[in-house]
């Protein structure tokens, strides 16, 4: 058992993982079911990036998630599903149920011609069929690409196109709090631009009337009736791609981060069990959406690999009231609860009336992920949700890292509010200065890099390995660069300070400012724009857009009309998550003589801190700054 139980275990594991990574991870990997054992644990090069783990190993990850538990846990709950409507009955799927459903779904995919290596896009709300689809793809060796169901048809189309997907799986519409989201309609719009898609499977969730295109669209329930409940898992290589997940960076279109099979499996289970100290019989709940990496690694794969019980929630934290999370915790006696700081802040603002009426005594561990947690939110979570008895694991990681990287191990690592604390075994962080030199010692700050690969590091970006090398391995030669700033304090504890690139983190969602600018610039009245983040009480960061509009449009339309048009364009291109919080129409942007926008100034103005804007003498037209300051939106 590679379970860490105390600080001594942690120190030993950490030391071994650094001294001999191959031996360490080789031992951890022994716990899994392999069809053929690996020949070599690791081969890698960060300078001309490639990385391979468990080379020559053959396996199927779903046999490790499901089949291997059937002997002892066939009747144990694997997935508990809580629907959006509190009056709709939850459904519990045992390991035997999940096995049956995944095999059936896998057979449906095969019957529509999906083969090993094909890409399948999943665009669904948090329903069990989403988890089954993910696993069904993995079962037959198809590469899943889950697209968060809040993305617009344009965003969906560009991701389907980039992956050249053969199939899309969606639902008629989605319940989301009091609203309904027309998923199939969005898919229809995007499929017009995606000739690669041969089949669209449609889950009937709400029964809302929808268009079904003959020869392309298929009702999932009808297809499932035609197939057997057994499916032999495809033999996969450790390094066969498992999934693509698109994520935003500082430039260009979102990248398809590629994770492979063996290393991802080993690392997600290891971190899940250790960080949450998951014990047999516990009920674990992660409130993320499977559309993000957290849902992949810690709703589906990690918990099922560990033979655990994982809860899936279709709804939102504030409907029908702000006590929804706490009600679900008390109803299912949740033991480990994992959520985002933004949700904590939003619920904290609603007061304690919605908290104190629920019995939260089942909780043992609390977790957070996705953005830095502020001290007030940490304290509130610790005191009012965990009742001062549950350790908080503030887990730092990324889509690219596949699993948690720097995090306390619950009950083992002494926590410190706002600190992700210490690196997990196998993770070798380094702080680098702007010259690329490692900053040693304690009480220091720098750009967070990782020196050595871990099993679930991204392998490439889909269709463009050069982009992967450039984005992550060129800033600092020989290091993986995370894009985050970080502090190492006197105790050697790490605190993540936020992104140092042009990525903003809005309610835990990663958005590239360039991506939002591109969307804004598509609006006919817009000449140019610049987007920056600013501190937002609930969302962590808000989106502030400075936009230059065409003088003719300014004559013709009111400011409100222009702003509305800009906003709608962003929603159309990306989705509601990227809608700017503030739009300031400006006559110019602060540019240097070489044409570079001085974002530092824009950030300061957006923060409301205009007292000291630093040196503006290199600006082409310093008077622009005055006019931007005057029109700033507070």
Please report how many Cα atoms fall inside a 13 Å half-sphere around the Cα of residue 63, on the Cβ side: 18
Closest approach of Cβ 301 to ligand WTA, in Å?
14
Give the range of 72-80, 236-244, 482-490, 542-550 binding ligand WTA by CB under 6 A: 482-490
| Nearest partner of 503 among 360, 601, 599, judged by Cα | 599
Q: Which is nearer to ligand WTA, 144 or 184 (CB)?
A: 144
Q: Which is nearer to ligand WTA, 62 or 398 (CB)?
A: 398
User: What is the DSSP track for 89-134?
Assistant: PPEEEEHHHHHHHHHHHHHHHHHTT--TT-EEEEE--S-HHHHHHH
Give the range of 9-17, 224-232, 291-299, 323-331 binding ligand WTA by CB under 6 A: 291-299
Give the range of 312-320, 492-500, 517-525, 596-604 binding ligand WTA by CB under 6 A: 492-500
Q: Give yes or no for residue 394 binding ligand WTA (CB under 6 A).
A: yes
Q: Give yes or no for residue 510 binding ligand WTA (CB under 6 A).
A: yes
Give the range of 153-161, 232-240, 363-371, 424-432 binding ligand WTA by CB under 6 A: 363-371
| Nearest partner of 54 among 65, 68, 38, 43, judged by Cα | 38
Q: Could you give the CA distance from residue 83 to residue 542 in angstroms, rounded to a whole number?
A: 30
Three-class SS state of 164: coil
Q: Which is nearer to ligand WTA, 292 or 326 (CB)?
A: 292
Q: Give yes or no for residue 539 binding ligand WTA (CB under 6 A).
A: no
Give the range of 12-20, 163-171, 288-296, 326-334 binding ligand WTA by CB under 6 A: 288-296
Closest approach of Cβ 120 to ligand WTA, in Å?
22
Q: Which is nearer to ligand WTA, 120 or 486 (CB)?
A: 486
Closest approach of Cβ 498 to ligand WTA, in Å?
6
Q: Give yes or no for residue 515 binding ligand WTA (CB under 6 A).
A: no
Q: Could you give the CA distance from residue 417 to residue 507 in angstroms, rounded to a whole number?
A: 19
Q: Could you give the CA distance from residue 533 to residue 125 in angstroms, rounded to a whole number?
A: 28
Q: Give yes or no for residue 372 binding ligand WTA (CB under 6 A).
A: yes
| Interface with ligand WTA (CB under 6 A), residue from 293, 569, 589, 602 | 293
Write out the two tokens for 182. Answer: 């027309």
Q: Give yes or no for residue 540 binding ligand WTA (CB under 6 A).
A: no
Q: Could you give the CA distance from residue 524 to residue 110 in angstroms, rounded to a whole number?
A: 45
Q: Could you give the CA distance from residue 557 to residue 106 in angstroms, rounded to a whole number?
A: 53
Q: Could you give the CA distance from residue 403 to residue 49 in angstroms, rounded to a whole number?
A: 20
Q: Could you give the CA distance from residue 398 to residue 166 in angstroms, rounded to a whole number?
A: 27
Q: Could you give the CA distance from residue 244 to residue 61 in angstroms, rounded to a whole number?
A: 16
| Interface with ligand WTA (CB under 6 A), residue from 121, 165, 420, 449 | 420
Q: Could you give the CA distance from residue 577 to residue 158 in angstroms, rounded to a whole number?
A: 17
| Interface with ligand WTA (CB under 6 A), residue from 505, 513, 541, 543 | 505
Q: Give yes or no for residue 127 binding ligand WTA (CB under 6 A).
A: no
Q: How far is CA 492 from CA 212, 232, 419, in A?
A: 58, 48, 11
Residues 64/305, Cβ–Cβ less than 8 Å:
yes
Q: Which is nearer to ligand WTA, 60 or 505 (CB)?
A: 505
Give the range of 179-187, 214-222, 306-314, 476-484 binding ligand WTA by CB under 6 A: 476-484
Write out the two tokens for 243. Answer: 């999934």
User: What is the DSSP track for 486-525?
Assistant: EEE-TTS-EEEEEESSSEEEETTEEEEHHHHHHHHHTSTT
Q: Total binding residues for ligand WTA by CB under 6 A?
A: 23
Q: Which of residues 578-607 bind ligand WTA (CB under 6 A)?
A: none
Tell me which DSSP letter residue 8 carries: H
Q: Which of residues 222-251 bind ligand WTA (CB under 6 A)?
A: 247
Give the range of 140-148, 210-218, 261-269, 292-300 binding ligand WTA by CB under 6 A: 292-300
| Interface with ligand WTA (CB under 6 A), residue from 452, 499, 563, 604 | 499
Closest approach of Cβ 486 to ligand WTA, in Å?
9
Show Cβ contacts of residue 50 under 8 Å, excluding neighbours closer than 6 positions: 43, 44, 459
Q: Which is nearer to ligand WTA, 172 or 484 (CB)?
A: 484
Closest approach of Cβ 383 to ligand WTA, in Å?
19
Q: Give yes or no for residue 496 binding ligand WTA (CB under 6 A).
A: yes
Q: Give yes or no for residue 398 binding ligand WTA (CB under 6 A).
A: yes
Judged by the rule CB under 6 A, the positions of this chain that interact with ligand WTA are: 247, 292-294, 369-372, 394-399, 420, 482-484, 496, 498-499, 505, 510
């Amino acid at each position: 058992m590679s379970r860490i139980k105390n600080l001594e275990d942690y120190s030993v594991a950490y030391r071994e993982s650094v001294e001999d990574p191959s031996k360490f991870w080789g031992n951890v990997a022994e716990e899994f079911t392999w069809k053929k054992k690996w020949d070599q644990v690791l081969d890698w090069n960060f300078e001309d990036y490639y990385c391979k783990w468990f080379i020559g190993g053959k396996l199927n990850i779903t046999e490790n998630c499901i089949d291997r538990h059937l002997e002892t846990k066939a009747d144990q709950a694997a997935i508990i599903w809580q629907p959006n409507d509190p009056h709709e009955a939850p459904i519990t799927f045992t390991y035997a149920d999940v096995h049956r459903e995944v095999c059936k779904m896998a057979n449906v995919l095969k019957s529509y011609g999906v083969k090993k290596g094909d890409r399948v896009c999943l665009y669904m709300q948090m329903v069990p069929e989403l988890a089954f689809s993910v696993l069904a793809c993995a079962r037959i060796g198809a590469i899943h690409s889950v697209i968060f169901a809040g993305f617009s048809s344009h965003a969906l189309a560009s991701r389907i196109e980039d992956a050249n997907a053969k199939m899309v799986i969606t639902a008629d519409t989605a319940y989301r709090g009091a609203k309904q989201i027309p998923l199939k309609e969005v898919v229809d719009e995007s499929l017009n631009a995606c000739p690669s898609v041969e089949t669209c499977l449609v889950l009937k969730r709400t029964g809302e009337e929808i268009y079904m295109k003959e020869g392309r669209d298929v009702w999932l329930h009808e297809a499932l009736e035609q197939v057997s409940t057994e499916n032999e898992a495809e033999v996969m290589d450790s390094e066969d791609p498992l999934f693509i997940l698109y994520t935003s960076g500082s430039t260009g279109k979102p990248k398809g981060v590629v994770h492979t099979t063996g290393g991802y499996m080993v690392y997600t289970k290891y971190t899940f069990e250790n960080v949450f100290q998951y014990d047999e019989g516990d009920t674990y709940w992660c409130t993320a959406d499977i559309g993000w990496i957290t849902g992949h690694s810690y709703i589906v794969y990690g918990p099922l690999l560990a033979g655990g019980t994982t809860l899936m929630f279709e709804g939102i934290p504030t409907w029908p009231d702000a006590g929804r999370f706490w009600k679900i915790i008390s109803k299912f006696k949740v033991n480990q609860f994992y959520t985002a700081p933004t949700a904590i802040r939003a619920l904290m603002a609603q007061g304690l009336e919605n908290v104190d009426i629920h019995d939260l005594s089942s909780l043992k561990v609390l977790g957070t992920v996705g953005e830095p947690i502020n001290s007030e939110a940490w304290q509130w979570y610790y005191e009012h949700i965990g009742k001062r008895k549950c350790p908080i694991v503030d887990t730092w990681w990324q889509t690219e890292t596949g699993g948690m990287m720097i995090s306390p191990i619950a009950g083992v690592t002494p926590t410190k509010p706002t600190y992700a604390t210490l690196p997990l075994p196998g993770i070798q962080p380094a702080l680098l200065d702007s010259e690329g030199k490692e900053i040693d010692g304690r009480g220091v700050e720098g750009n967070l890099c990782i020196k050595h690969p871990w099993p679930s590091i991204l392998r490439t970006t889909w269709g463009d390995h050069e982009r992967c090398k450039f984005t992550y391995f060129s800033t600092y030669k020989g290091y993986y660069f995370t894009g985050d700033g970080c502090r190492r304090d006197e105790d050697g504890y790490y605190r993540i300070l936020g992104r140092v690139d042009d990525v903003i983190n809005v309610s835990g969602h990663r958005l590239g400012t360039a991506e939002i600018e591109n969307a804004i610039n598509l609006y006919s009245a817009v000449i140019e724009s610049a987007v920056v983040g600013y501190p937002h009480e609930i969302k962590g960061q808000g989106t502030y857009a400075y936009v230059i509009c065409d003088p003719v449009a300014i004559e013709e339309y009111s400011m409100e009309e222009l702003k509305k048009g800009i906003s709608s364009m962003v929603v159309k291109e990306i989705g509601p998550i990227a809608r700017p919080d503030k739009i300031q129409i400006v006559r110019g942007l602060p540019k240097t003589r070489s044409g570079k926008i001085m974002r530092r100034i824009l950030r300061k103005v957006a923060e409301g801190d205009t007292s000291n804007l630093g040196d503006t003498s290199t600006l082409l037209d310093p008077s622009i700054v005055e006019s931007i300051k005057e029109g700033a939106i507070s």
